Amino acid sequence: MERPTLARRDWLKLSAAGVLSGVSVPWFESLASAAIERPRGKSCILLWMDGGPSQQHTFDPKVNGDFKPAPTAVPGIHIVEQLPQLAQCMDDLVLVRSMTTEINGHYDAKYFLHTGFKRTTAFEHPAIGCIASSQVGLPRHDMPPFVTIDAGYDRADGGRLYRSVPAYLGAEHMPLSVYDPAQGLENLVPQGDDLDTRLNLLAAGERRFLERYPQPAVITRQAAYDRAVTLMRSRRAKAFRLEEEPANLRDAYGQHKFGQSCLLARRLIEAGVTFVEVVHRGWDDHDGAARPIAARAPWMDAGMATLIRDLKVRGMLDDTLVVWMGEFGRSPGDGNGHFCQAWSSVFAGGGLKTGQVIGKTNEDGKNPGNSIVDRPVKAADFMATLCLALGIDIKKEYLAPGLRPMPLVDKIAKPITEILG
């Protein structure tokens, strides 16, 4: 197969980003082998660090903090020295250092950041992945529009895990779950020569049951069944098989479950999935954030940075938004408590105006009552920005239960317009 060619201008961009440094870059040499033609359209990979990652131990270091600030590829912007590969990707990043909410409890904060709305007892809002599935997912496509990947955990802290639900958007926008990136999807390979006959018989029975009992649980089951059959018959299902990737590229992502999840996310986006959420649990560092994040930094740095470079080399980064975040940050100083007043998230790619920092916290980060000194970004603002970056109409409304008109994004939202392309 003939390899894709790059214009001289693109080669220069890649060289400037450090992608083509040295005589040989093994993972770059495996470029694409593009066995699957990627459908056009915006997509998103959400890297969710469940439990609340410490801002001062990652993307908003302080002079007197546990970790030293280190320069990045963009003059004047520093992140912690434990993330050297991401530092070289700064041209493709936007650091949002002034995230702020009002919720310090894990589950309610996770709900808030996934939906853009506060949780109530009588009403459920759709998660961002389900929104993306409904608004920009590819119609009648054989790949699921929304996939979640379990990237494991290094401790069991972080409270109840949030599970994305489509709510009033419909069961067809539920995520497909992958519990181990190395295993892909179980029972995906068809068994037996009479598969079509057996599937047709089963489908007929399922349709009759649905007609007789059109209840939400039955509708959800039917949607899952239809999706499974479509995927089983699709040539794109091989996107779930990491063993098809060259060993040197898998090594570049890192053998940690997080890095392999990032690689699987790229394969799925390439095959036509619209939204992939990679979830790593265990960031609730109540004994102090320095030691556990020092242990996590190598695999997080390798996985996320290689994902960004890999997408860029394949010409996918402008159409793929990568987001790194958790439900809140950690308390100023050692990071041993929850801190919702001022914390960091990261955007990459997606056609945004990258290479910049949004918002600012005070110099030492030790004044909780007045930590943000510039451009606070609330949950609704963040959600609106994410949606606009994906081409989603933030003014669109749906009819929720009880014929209640419900906007996809809270009307009070103020998008971060300075980063939108």
Provide the residue range defining the domain that includes 326: 41-185+249-419
Domain assignment of residue 31, yes or no: no
pLDDT in tens, 99-144: 999 999 999 999 999 999 999 877 899 999 999 999 999 876 788 8
Is 210 within a domain? Answer: no
- Number of structural domains in the chain: 1
What is the pLDDT at residue 96?
Answer: 98
Contact 49, 325 (CB under 8 A): yes
The mean pLDDT of 237-255, rounded to a whole number, is 94
Mean pLDDT value of segment 62-73: 94
Mean pLDDT for the chain?
Answer: 84
Q: Which residue has the higher pLDDT, 322 or 205?
A: 322
Of the pLDDT bands very low, low, confident and very high (cuts 50, 70, 90), residue 5 is: very low
Question: Per the domain annotation, does 237 fall within a domain?
Answer: no
Is residue 113 domain-resident? yes
Residue for token pair 């939202």: 413
pLDDT at position 84:
98
Q: pLDDT per residue over 255-314, tens digit each?
A: 999 999 999 999 999 999 999 999 999 999 999 999 999 999 999 999 999 999 999 999
- 32 located within any domain: no
Task: Scan for tokens 């519990």, then name that residue.
Answer: 179
What is the pLDDT, as a whole number, of residue 123?
A: 84
343 - beta bridge partners? 99
User: How large a percentage of the chain has pLDDT more than 90?
Assistant: 65
* Residue 158 pLDDT class (50, 70, 90 cuts): confident
Whether residue 150 is predicted with pLDDT greater than 50 in this model: the reply is: yes
Q: What pLDDT score was predicted for residue 33?
A: 40
Percent of the chain beyond pLDDT 70? 76
Instruction: Tell me, yes or no, whether 196 lies in a domain.
Output: no
> 222: pLDDT confidence band, cut at 50, 70 and 90?
low
Lowest mean pLDDT among 63-72, 191-200, 276-285, 392-401: 191-200
pLDDT at residue 85, as a whole number:
98
Q: What is the CATH number of the domain that holds 349?
A: 3.40.720.10
In a domain, 205, yes or no: no
> 276 in a domain, yes or no?
yes
